[in-house]
Amino acid sequence: MKKKLRNAIAATVLFAAPAVLAGGPELAPGEVGYFSGFFVGGTVAYHHTNFDASSTADIMQAVVVPAGTTTDVTVFNTGSLLLDDSSGGVYDGYAGVQGGVGIVFGQQWYLGVVGFNEWGSQKNTSSTSSQTQNNLTTAGSSYSLDTQNNQNLASTTSVSIDNDHGVAAKLGFLVAAQTMLYGKVGAVWADIEVSNDVMLDGQTHLNIVFPDGSAPNNTADAQATVSGSSSGSENKVALLLGVGVEQYIYEDLVSLNIEYDYANFGTVTTTPGALLVTESTTEVGTTQAKGNAKVSTMLAGLNIYFGSSWI
């Protein structure tokens, strides 16, 4: 009996010793509290934003200017005089904070929610100019008018995005006790601003031609400049989609996550601005601009977890 008791005690010590030396039994993923609980952290990100923009200028009332003769000259006719479409990509860095809470269940699945805020700004400005020339001959009873219209059309359009904040569900899978692959889906808000400036510079040259050549040709010039601007801003919401990986780098306390996110903020349209004849309060038309922002983000975050070791 004593011999059996001694053998049982020896066996117990033999099997227990490795566990004591190792600091405890080996636990399955999720049982030591990795990823479960609250976390807060800081982020750095690299944003690539693709801006699409357009500007228009529409004349509602013909611009008629005296030419120093008995004939007034129409420098700008009614209709659409400018349509400028542009696109450009901008790269910039952002800094931010993030925090959230989640739980590991079934030893490998993670369900959580994360909120974040980033500080930074991006802007794209595009400019365009063009010249149009129209020739028109109008017959009169005793003379004809050779008319040459030259119009210089120029516009500058800007679209910018400032800061962003949002909230998303975080769905993950633990491929190892301290490593998780995850996806994000949520909403992100950002301020989008759009503005434009346009200038329409027109000149018409008249050459009065007498058919019998009895009098020398008379010439006259008429010129007018029309300019205007418009602007608008809106806090837009976009669907946020992301994927990433998170790895503990210090015990069950500190982790590093790297992720890619995408958001399309849609279109912001300016309030129409008046087109005015230079040095005059006469409104002859309107100008308007619109733009949108599509943001791709590469982000890295350093997080502190308040999980099982803090409870």
> Above 70 in pLDDT, residue 311?
no
Helix (H) or strand (E) holding 20: helix 2-21
Half-sphere exposure of 190 (CA within 13 A, CB side): 30
What pLDDT digit, counting tens, does each position of 16-72 carry? 333 333 333 344 443 457 999 999 999 999 999 999 999 999 999 988 887 766 667
Q: Point out the least confidently predicted range of 10-24, 136-150, 189-203.
A: 10-24
Assigned domain for 32 exists: no
Assigned domain for 11 exists: no
Long-range own/partner contacts, residues 123-126 (CB < 8 A, 24 or more apart): 123/90, 123/158, 123/159, 123/160, 123/161, 124/49, 124/51, 124/53, 124/88, 124/89, 124/90, 124/158, 124/159, 124/160, 125/156, 125/157, 125/158, 126/53, 126/84, 126/86, 126/88, 126/156, 126/157, 126/158
Give the CA radius of gyration of the chain.
35
- Residue 206 one-letter amino acid: L
Q: How far apart (Å, rounded) are the C-alpha atoms in residues 238 and 270? A: 19
- Predicted pLDDT at 19: 35
Assigned domain for 81 exists: yes
Assigned domain for 28 exists: no
Q: How far is CA 160 from the centre of its chain?
A: 7
- Predicted pLDDT at 310: 56
Assigned domain for 46 exists: yes
The share of the chain scoring above pLDDT 70, in percent, equals: 80
Assigned domain for 25 exists: no
Identify the domain containing residue 180 by its residue range.
39-310
Q: How far apart (Å, rounded) are the C-alpha atoms in residues 124 and 121? A: 11
Assigned domain for 8 exists: no
First to last CA, the chain: 46
Q: Could you give the number of structural domains in the chain?
A: 1
